[in-house]
């Protein structure tokens, strides 16, 4: 049940690193300091802890961030909300600073969940564990179950599921029949819009970034290899 119990610190940490970089850049822009970035924070950690090989704690990292930002409140708030707390950063707002738009990946399209399905012997099976809170999980289906019908349509392939979803909209409730551990279960599933998002340049979203935003983006994406 890995999908419901595990969060990778690789992707989670990368996401927090992105938020911290953009947050520091925003703070620097308010002061006219274009060098206030995640790089400066990492260099400070290396200077104090990496090069002399001194272990550091969360308290040490927070103090280093406060020194780099010259703003203890900023450092304390970031750690309280996002490191020791569980609040997600405002990615939409932070990325807007550099002319990037966060938007729904599949607006207006019906979705039953992020689930892998296997076609086998003319039947369709749930191949992966279903995720808590998603429509197919709430309907009761899980790994190994055979999906029999959706909205009255017999299911033998992923294409059958896609065809049903294309004819429906988020919020629709449709009949679902599946077999689980030798039992045939007749229930309903309420389709929703996928919570997945995508990022695109503001220009691709029909917006016109101003010169300051374009300059921030150019600095953000500029190569730094020497």
- Per-residue pLDDT at 2: 86
Residue-wise pLDDT tens digits, 14-60:
999 999 999 999 999 999 999 999 999 999 999 999 999 999 999 99
Residue-level pLDDT at 145: 98
Which residues of the chain, if any, have pLDDT below 70?
225-226
Helix (H) or strand (E) holding 21: helix 9-31
Structure tokens at 169: 């909209």
219, 99 Cβ separation under 8 angstroms: no
Strands 183-190, 153-154: parallel, antiparallel or unpaired by DSSP? unpaired
The CB-side HSE value for 64 (13 A sphere, CA atoms) comes to 19
Indicate the SS3 state at residue 72: helix
Contacts of 122 (CB under 8 A, 6+ apart): 156
Nearest to 104 by CA among 171, 16, 200: 200
Distance (Å, whole) CA 139 – CA 24: 43
Structure tokens at 211: 């010169």
């Amino acid at each position: 049940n890995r999908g419901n119990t595990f969060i990778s610190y690789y992707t989670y940490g990368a996401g927090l690193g992105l938020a911290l970089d953009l947050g520091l850049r925003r703070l620097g822009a308010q002061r006219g300091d274009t060098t206030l970035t995640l790089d400066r924070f990492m260099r400070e950690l290396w200077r104090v802890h990496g090069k002399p090989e001194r272990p550091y704690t969360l308290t040490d990292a927070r103090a280093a961030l406060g020194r780099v930002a010259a703003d203890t409140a900023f450092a304390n708030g970031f750690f309280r909300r996002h490191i020791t707390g569980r609040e997600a950063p405002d990615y939409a707002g932070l990325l807007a600073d550099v002319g990037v738009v966060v938007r729904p990946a599949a607006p207006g399209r019906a979705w039953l969940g992020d689930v892998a399905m296997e076609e086998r012997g003319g039947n369709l099976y749930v191949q992966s564990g279903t995720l808590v809170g998603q429509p197919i999980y709430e309907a009761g289906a899980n790994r190994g179950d055979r999906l029999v019908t959706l909205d009255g349509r017999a299911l033998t392939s992923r294409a059958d599921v896609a065809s049903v979803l294309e004819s429906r909209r988020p919020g629709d409730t449709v009949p679902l029949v599946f077999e689980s551990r030798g039992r045939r279960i007749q229930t309903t599933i309420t389709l929703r819009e996928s919570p997945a998002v995508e990022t695109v340049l503001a220009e691709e979203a029909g917006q016109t970034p101003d010169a300051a935003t374009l300059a921030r983006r150019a600095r953000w994406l500029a190569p730094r290899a020497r």
